[in-house]
Structure 1
Amino acid sequence: MKTLFPPYAHPSANLALDADTWIIQARPGRRHSVHQVLGRVDLDWGGRSLADVLADVDAWREDGVEGLFLDRAPAGEGGVGPVALTLRLAARRGLHRVVLNPGVPTHPSYRELDVRICTFDGPWDAYQGWNGDGVVPGDGHLVHGVPTALLTAARRLMGRRGAGFGLATDAAPQVSPIPEQVRS
């Protein structure tokens, strides 16, 4: 399973460099890792203008990242078109490695975009009771707030649930939770 470190969780300084570790960087600028970096672009659940999103994409391209992490992505059918357009424009700029993070299962048409999708992004308590409806093996799971003593158990659970990439961490983000209307 590939390891994806969100901006609020950082790898150990002695973590060996490998192709299966991706670091999401919150802002362009000085690199904080020798691993592959994905630049975070906030889609604000589909609420940001395409011009603002593309300005971020261009800033990351100039920064030299290996790809993009499209965070807070819309999950419903109405968001597929704008996300597809963002992906095409990013590819034209040479950014082909993209992870889409709606944090919940998406409308099935997102699967046609041929992009990695993070279908769970939330706290350990929610992950334990999550039924995984709408996910496919290989999707990403970001599980935060795991008690340190349960990190190994959390990683095993991710594996049993078919996560292809992600992270179980005791760290927690300082961002707002997914709005209820986005989850449905």
Structure 2
Amino acid sequence: MRTVLPLYVHPLDAPTAWQAERLGDVTVVVNVHDGPGKKPSAVYEVVLAQLAEGGVPLLGYVDLAYVSRPLADILEEIERWAAYRVNGIFFHAAPTSPFGLGPVSMAIRVARGFGLRDLILNPGEPTDPVYRDLDVPICTFEGSWQDYQRWPPKGSQPGDGHLVYGVPTDKVDAARRLMLLRHAGFGLATDLDLPHPYAGLPASMGELSPTP
């Protein structure tokens, strides 16, 4: 199972969280203040180059806002990510209705056109089956450990992603086992919790390396 770690903390605020030797082959989602900004950030350029050279897979964060954002803004943000050392895009707040398929499909085509091939859709819940035709991994659960335990994975498929936060540290292994039983292909079990579940490395990061 591939571990995907949203790392929504600035490198200057948590420098140790951005060390390639600690991250290994964990896929890191980079959120530069909800987007890469109008101009490349010198700090992120340096840090992402170091991680890329260390073999850490990197995804840029793009908020689709359930396609309530203007499509032009989404496409411009994808283009700005292409200036960074990232392998692909993590599309957050992806829609689940078939009526949102057009803008999402366009965003995916544009990302691939820029060579950003490693893509993830994150609606945080199951989508309409039509999204499967996009051939992009889908994160069909994002929520608390409490909710994950009672979640009926209807509409989820083997290989989908599960992001689970608020897991008691002594339950991280149990959370990962449940993810595997539910055939998650990628995701995260973290002991960090709301309001900032992705504010840095989980205390249990050592147990979050990909499991065969």
**Aligned equivalents of 2:195, 2:31: Cα separation in 1:** 12
Kindly indicate which of the two structures has a greater share of residues assigned to strand: 1
Q: CA RMSD in A?
A: 1.9
The answer (yes or no) to whether the contact 1:8–1:171 under 8 Å persists in 2 is no
Deviation at 1:89, TM superposition (A): 1.1
**Could you list the per-position Cα deviations for residues 114-138 of structure 1 after superposition, in whole angstroms to 9, with x for gaps in the alignment?**
0010000111111000010001100
| Residue number in structure 2 paired with 1:25 | 30
**Could you list the per-position Cα deviations for residues 8-64 of structure 1 after superposition, in whole angstroms to 9, with x for gaps in the alignment?**
48588643633xx21000014413644111000001111111111011101110112
The partner residue of 1:109 within 110, 126, 130 is 130
Higher Cα Rg: structure 1 or 2? 2
The partner residue of 1:68 within 89, 93, 101 is 89
**Paired residue type of 1:2:** R
Shift in CA distance, 92/111, structure 1 to aligned 2, threshold 3 Å? same
Q: How does 1:11-160 map to 2 (within 5 A)?
A: 14-15=21-22, 17-18=24-25, 21-27=26-32, 28=36, 29=41, 30=44, 31=47, 33=51, 34=54, 35-160=56-181
Deviation at 1:151, TM superposition (A): 0.5
The aligned length equals: 173
Deviation at 1:99, TM superposition (A): 0.4
The answer (yes or no) to whether the contact 1:8–1:172 under 8 Å persists in 2 is no
SS at match of 1:63: coil
Query: Is there any run of 5+ residues in structure 1 with no aligned partner, and where?
Result: 176-184
Shift in CA distance, 63/14, structure 1 to aligned 2, threshold 3 Å? closer
Is 1:7 matched up with 2:7?
yes
**Aligned equivalents of 1:60, 1:87: Cα separation in 2:** 13
| TM-score (norm. length: structure 1) | 0.87
**Paired residue type of 1:139:** D
- Give the ranges of 4+ consecutive aligned residues of structure 1 lying more than 4 Å apart after TM superposition: 8-14
The answer (yes or no) to whether the contact 2:8–2:31 under 8 Å persists in 1 is no
SS at match of 2:153: coil
**Aligned equivalents of 2:162, 2:92: Cα separation in 1:** 13
